[in-house]
Amino acid sequence: MLKKFIIKRLLTLPLILFILSGLIFSLVAFLSPYERLAVFIPDPEVYAQAPVEELVILYGLDEAIHIQYLNWLKNVFLGDLGWSPSARMPVSRALSSRFPATVELMLLGQLVIFFGGIAIGTYTAKNHNKLGDHFFRFMTTLGIAFPGFVVGLLLLVIFYSWLGWFPPGRLSPWAMDVVGSLEFQRYTGMNTLDGILNGRFDVFLNSLRHMILPAFAYSLSTLAATIRLMRSSLLETLRKDYIYTARSKGLSEKVVVNKHARRNALLPVITFMGTSVPIMFGGAVIIETVFGYPGMGLFIVQAAHGLDFPAILGSALLVGVVIVFVNLVVDLLYRILDPTIRYD
Amino acid sequence: MRSWKNIVLIVLLLTLAFSAGVQAKDTFVKASRNLVDTLDPQLMVASATMELSFNVFNSLLIFDPEDRDTLHPSLSTQVPSYDNGLIVDTEDGGVRIEFPVRQGVLFHNGSELRPEDIEYTIKRALLIGGQPASIRLLSSTLLDKGSFQVLVDEIGYDEAFEVLDQAVTVEGNSVIFHLPKPFVPFLGIMADGGASLAILNKEWCSEVGAWPGTKETGQEFMGLTIEETALHDKMMGTGPFKLASWEPGERIVLERFDEYWEGPATMSRVIRRIVEDTSTAIMLLQRGDVDWIDLDSPADLPRVEGSPGVKTITDIPTAWLMKMNFVFDITEEGNRNIGDGQIGPNGIPGDFFSDINVRKAFQYSFGYDVFINDVFLGSALKPYGPVLIGFPTANPDNPQYYYDPEKAEEHFKKAWNGEVWEKGFKMRIPYSAGSLQRQRALEILKDNIEALNPKFEIELFSLPWASYLAEITAKKLPISLLGMLPQVFDPYLPLFQHMHSSGSYARDCGYDDMAREKYDVLIDELGTNYDEERRMELSHQLQLYAYEDAHSIFHFQNVANIAIRDWVQGYIPLPQPFNVDFYQIYH
Amino acid sequence: MVVLKKIIKNPMGFIGLTLVLFWVIIAIFAPLLAPPGDVRDPYMIKRAGYSSLPQPPSSEAPMGLSGGGYDIYYGIIWGSRTAFRIGLIVVLISGLIGTLVGGVSAYIGGLMDEIVMRIVDLFMSFPFLIGVIIMTVVLGKGLNIVILALIIFGWRGYARVIRSEVLSVKERDYVTAAKALGLSRRRILIKHVFPNSIFPIFVLASLNIGRMVLLASSLSFIGVGSEPGFADWGQMINFARPWLTGVVGDPFAFWFTYLYPSLAICSFILGWTLLGDTLRDVLDPQLKGT
């Protein structure tokens, strides 16, 4: 049963990607070749000297859309995602350096959200309407209420400018030299993992040091939201019939909460965390800008501003794959947490 | 549960303890927002990237840092002139310019510079259709056509290649250029220090997959794009620094070349890292993790001034002029910016700005002082006209426009036989989103004009860069805010751009007929006549025409401010001061 | 109303209601509190000069001027209208769409559910920022585009949340009982399924009303938000970005540029969140009795 479900879900993936890429590409129809030229003319001062018409022809910007799309599609099947004019390198190369950077950050962030959110959410639900609850409720509202760059800059000021603990960027210069050298093997593109796999614990630590602030700033609002959602979900579950049953059976409060209630309360929380993944891809750009951490966020925004379709399509495909997987994982977790849920 | 928390705590502490890296004293770190577009100097268009080619390559000549009018030999042993016989007029009206090549100059890979390398470099630049402005100029000069592609379209590849072949030749130890007619800025183009006229090594280029230099292979390399060029991610020149590594989007590292022909540099390593956010860059500078930051806005100065260990250098003149260009023949079809296309409360006609009185009225309506003092906090210069301040023949006494609401009103009343004043007008002008200087300039213009007559309405709105570009190209803007960034230190360039019928502005703004009538002749002479007095005359006359015909409002010439660590010595401003000559930097 | 009374009785709810009402009043009386003068569009923040440096509060500008001469007080007052506009419109419409689509599809299940969820996946996979940026190029900039974009990319969140609830509620005893009794699908949906699965939606909605203002602010950050100079708290925070670190020796020199918009955003979000929480607390025991 389970296998079938997973396979069925995975089979929909190519269809989704196909529709997605088609939809995105069709946007080209709304754009004039001059708008698409913008990525080749980086700033207005260069424009005055640029031979606009020549460039349009050179880059094939006035060819028929379906031809452009078919060409792109053909190349994708051959494994070539094309060239990104905004990143000045092949799309696949750009993605292979930017994507792991964001994944690393997101993983760390999700860890913080998961453990922190559930722990604190449970605590506030258990201490419903007492001081601890009110304190965290207030803090979480603050946490959601601040724009990302404000939090980011404040954190940088305190932890970098004043204390010098956590610098911006992905790695310190000496670590970058190590990672860029020939001896260092890039297995995953994630500096933390690669550091460990290469036996360079110092690179791992350095990478972590640079990731702590951005991961925290990045997850703050989702963390706050998760705490509140966990709280309300748990409170609700605790009032349900089967909980009264468990309590009346004489089970201790701890077991009631941890074993029975929490599992069911986790459902909307897991959903929410699942939906937060694509949103976090978006919020990433602000954090990446402030912390000088080049990841998917910046890449996508730069590609979009430049109407760089190969890069946009490449990113969309990649993100699409990630999201289908995340949704799959979320749905699987439902089944584990609540066996009564059935899929026809 | 306890043990988890302990582990996390320990790891956190370790990250702090372990990872402090010490900055070496002979490393220079620069923070920049500008991405490197490519490492191929002949396809590089962003002036920020030219900083790299400047330091990694050399060109035949070099300008004197204190006095840019004066040229010095670099890879050539002499500066050609009529006096030393290296410039000679030929019988067919052309000019022959000879550059004796310096001996004993080494490339980063150890091979020695030969005249063939220079010949190859120039031919490649022309063949592939090099993008930088100076190469395009060189192209039109040497080939007498806009570009090699145009020549090929006209006379076929074989013939065209012959022309190319004859344009640059090697004789003994010299490289000879055969110009079909004199071109005064030619030496200036050759003196950019390697920014665009970077001398490449022919063999190495061939080895890494660039054009081998033969006629048979030439056609494949025409119309080369960044995507296709083999030199996109490699640089190998004769300059004081060589490329160590490049992580696109993150940083680029240069290392000292110990066998540099002028002697090794002081700095052993230069790192240019990308930092998007100014606040972050300032923090990095204050902590000493970065030694240099550009301050985009003068309002950033108070944020750094006074930081311990930091010093600022302000008011450095740049070669960037901004102007507000009136479009004389605005596209009328489907153009919301001009409303109903009639003079009246709902629009303007497409040829609104073709009336000199409208233009003069606008000129007198702009608040030049307010703009420079309030928006730039005094940190900008009011231009004299199309020839940039600091360029030869720039005329400080050229008549200029100032904010004068009375004169503005006068001219508005005369405009279009009084119709404008009576009926009023409405236009929409976009600016590129995020460009504060454009936004403010238009806001000032709008406020001043609307204050003159309640029937005048100017609506401003922002557009993403891609849309702004499309609208400019489609000529839908009533006023475009584009400037000039001349790469060569000669009045010919800005005057050509601004006022020649083949220059971009006359065409794009619709005054090319006027140009053909009045300016072309003068500008052409400016380009071909070496006589300095005559050039001054011509230049001054053209600057006067720019005033009288009022095609554009010259609202500011940019001035640069930088903030650096106080140990940094030896900085000498380049024409684009954000670009640094790393060779000069020492502790 | 009974519900209202209950909200007021709850201390958190009382605070929340007060805050929201505070801003409602400000929004309604904006033209009186901050007269726009003879400017054509009152939503464009009043300017006093063009100075690139922010000016501290004075008698003419009680909250000071931001970089570019924008009157902060004016922006805060009129920005309240913008905040309500964005928050309410987006949440209402996207919430409705998401709840209907997600809820009905989850209940019906089967192939239709699969297809619909794949479509939701599609919308989710479409990167928000790319979509918004391209929308601005094609359709232009401005507040309406921001609202449209937030709706298009926002409804899916509600769909997913309601889905998980409905899937679980669907198997509950009272639903099986109702089915056995022969009640129509529609009736079961409306009377039993929705009321028991709607709570997370309320919480989400109340959170989101405030959050929309922040999302609009991130859009301003990347350059696709409302028109520069528009009275929008998110944009005003963005104006303050260069001034967050102050000057050397006085890190809070430009406190007024970010403190006021931050307070406005915070109090607005706090109000809605508290209100939403209390609403849920109040409604829950009522419906449990069904």
The reply to whether residue A221 touches residue C214, judged by beta carbons under 8 angstroms, is yes
- Written as six digits, the tokens of A224 are 């706050």
Instruction: Give the single-character DSSP code of B374.
Output: I
Phi and psi at A230, nearest 5°, equal: -60, -45
pLDDT of residue A117: 83
Tallying the residues shown for chain B, one arrives at 587
pLDDT exceeding 90 applies to what percent of chain A? 2
CATH of domain B318-559: 3.10.105.10
Distance from the A13 Cα atom to the nearest Cα atom in chain B, whole angstroms: 31
Span C182-192, average pLDDT: 76
Does position B93 have pLDDT exceeding 80, yes or no? yes
- ipTM given for this complex: 0.84
Q: Give me the mean pLDDT over the B527-537 stretch.
A: 92
Interface test with A, best of C129, C135, C197, C214 (most A CBs within 10 A): C129
pLDDT tens profile B160-194? 999 999 999 999 999 999 999 999 999 999 998 88
Residue C192 has pLDDT above 80, yes or no: no
Tell me the shortest Cα–Cα distance from A173 to chain C, in angstroms: 25
Residue C39: exposed, middle, or buried by beta-carbon count in 10 A (0-12, 13-18, 19+)? exposed
Q: What is the mean pLDDT of chain A?
A: 80
Q: Does A98-294 carry CATH code 1.10.357?
A: no
Q: Report the residue from A35, A94, A157 with minimal CB separation from B469.
A: A35
Parts of chain B belonging to CATH 3.10.105.10: 318-559
Q: Do C227 and B462 touch (CB under 8 A)?
A: yes
Percent of chain B with pLDDT over 90: 68
Contact A44 B14 (CB under 8 A): no
Under an 8 A CB cutoff, do C68 and B304 touch?
no
Q: A20 with C126: CB under 8 angstroms?
A: yes
Closest CA to C224 of B459, B464, A37: B464
Write down the pLDDT at residue B3.
Answer: 64
Judged against a pLDDT cut of 50, whether residue C290 lies above it is answered with no
Task: Note the pLDDT of residue C289.
Answer: 34
Locate B510 and state its tokens. 């619709």
Interface mutation vs chain C, best among A327, A337, A342, most C CBs within 10 Å = A327
pLDDT mean across residues, chain B: 91
Chains with 3 or more CB pairs under 8 A to chain A: B, C
In tens, the pLDDT along B278-314 reads 889 999 999 999 999 988 888 888 889 889 999 999 9
- Percentage of residues in chain B with pLDDT exceeding 70? 98
Per-residue pLDDT, averaged over A163-189, amounts to 86
**Residues of chain C positioned with their CB less than 8 A from the CB of B279:** 241-242, 244-245
Classify the C-alpha dihedral B297-B303-B309-B311 as positive or negative. positive
Q: Is B469 on the interface with C (CB under 8 A)?
A: no
Q: Report whether pLDDT(A257) > 70.
A: no
Q: Three-state SS across B284-331?
A: HHHHCCCCEEEECCHHHHHHHCCCCCEEEEEEEEEEEEEEEEECCCCC
Higher pLDDT, A225 or B344: B344
DSSP state of B270: E
What's the rounded Cα separation, in Å, for the pair B540 and B289? Answer: 48
User: Phi, psi (5° rounding) for residue B89?
Assistant: -75, 135
pLDDT at position A342 over 80: no
Asked whether the predicted pLDDT for residue B265 surpasses 70, the reply is yes
- Give DSSP secondary structure letters for C206-253: HHHHHHHHHHHHHHHHTT-SSPTTBS-HHHHHHHTGGGTT-BTTBTTT
Local confidence band at C74 (pLDDT 50, 70, 90 cut-offs): very high
Q: How far apart are the C-alpha atoms of B422 and B408, rounded to whole Å?
A: 15
- With contact defined as beta carbons under 8 Å apart, do B122 and B202 qualify? no
What mean pLDDT comes out for the span B238-247?
A: 94
Predicted local confidence at residue B363, as pLDDT: 96
CB contact under 8 A, B444 and C50: yes
Please report where in the chains the tokens 């307070």 appear, as a residue. Answer: C263
Which residues of B fall within a CB distance of 8 Å from A44?
Answer: 432, 435, 465, 468, 481-483
- Residue B159: partners with Cβ closer than 8 Å, 6 or more residues away: none
Chain B 221-250, residues with CB within 8 Å of chain A CB atoms: 223, 225-227, 232, 245, 247-250
Task: Give me the DSSP letters along B59-78.
Answer: -SEEE-SS-TT-EEESSBSS
Domain B27-33+238-316+560-584 listed as CATH 3.40.50.2000: no
Which is more confidently placed, B442 or A199? B442
Q: Bridge partners of B323?
A: B554
Quote the minimal CA–CA distance from B477 to chain C in Å.
16
Instruction: Give the start-to-end residue ranges of the domains of chain C.
Output: 2-30+87-287
Integer Cα distance of B33 and B26 in angstroms: 23
pLDDT at res. C285: 54
CB contact under 8 A, A279 and C258: no
- Establish, for the pair of chains B and C, how many residue pairs have beta carbons separated by less than 8 Å: 72
Inter-chain CB proximity C137 and A232 less than 8 Å = no
**3-class DSSP assignment, residue B177:** strand
Quickly state the pLDDT bin for C72 (edges 50, 70, 90): very high
pLDDT at A213 over 80: yes
Record: contact C122-A324, CB cut-off 8 A: no
Average pLDDT estimate for A277-284: 71
Dist CA A145 CA C265 (whole Å)? 7
Give the mean pLDDT of B395-415.
94
Please state the rounded mean pLDDT for residues C60-74.
91
B440 chain-C contacts, CB cut-off 8 A? 50, 68
Class of B47-221 per CATH?
A: alpha beta
Q: Copy the structure tokens of residue C47.
A: 């300017």
User: Could you tell me how many residues make up chain C?
Assistant: 290
Q: How far is A200 from chain C (nearest CA, A)?
A: 35
- pLDDT at residue A339, rounded to an integer: 64
- B136 inside 8 A of chain A by CB: yes
pLDDT exceeds cutoff 80 at C22: yes
Per-residue pLDDT band for B411 (boundaries 50, 70, 90) equals very high
pLDDT tens digits, one per residue of B6-56: 777 777 777 776 555 556 678 999 999 888 889 999 999 888 899 999 999
pLDDT of the residue at B242: 95
Is residue C38 very low, low, confident or very high in pLDDT (cuts 50, 70, 90)? low
B245 chain-A contacts, CB cut-off 8 A: 180
C-alpha B91/C-alpha A315 separation (Å) is 61
Among 1.20.1250.20, 2.50.20.10, 1.10.3720.10, 1.10.240.10, what is the CATH number of C2-30+87-287?
1.10.3720.10
Local confidence band at A2 (pLDDT 50, 70, 90 cut-offs):
confident
Burial of residue A43 (CB within 10 Å: 0-12, 13-18, 19+) is middle
- B234 vs B40: CA distance, rounded Å: 7
State the Cα angle at B178 between B177 and B181, rounded to 5°. Answer: 125
* Poorest-pLDDT segment among A91-95, B85-89, C136-140: C136-140
What residue in A sits closest to B280 (Cα-Cα)? Answer: A290
- The shortest C-alpha distance from A15 to chain B (Å) reads 30
CB C92 within 8 A of CB B415: no
CB distance B167 to B144 below 8 Å: no
Q: Is the dihedral of CA A302, A307, A308, A312 positive or negative?
A: positive
Tokens coding C82: 């913008």
Other C-beta atoms within 10 Å of B93: how many? 11
CA distance B529 to chain A (A): 24
CB contact under 8 A, B283 and A208: no
Exposed e or buried b for every residue in C155-181, given b needs 16+ CB within 10 A? bbbbbbbbbbbbbbbbebeebeebeee
Q: Tell me the CA distances in angstroms from C78 to B175, C24, C37, one per residue in order.
A: 70, 11, 13
Query: Is there a contact between C214 and A31 if contact means CB atoms under 8 Å apart?
Result: no
Average pLDDT, whole number, for chain C? 83
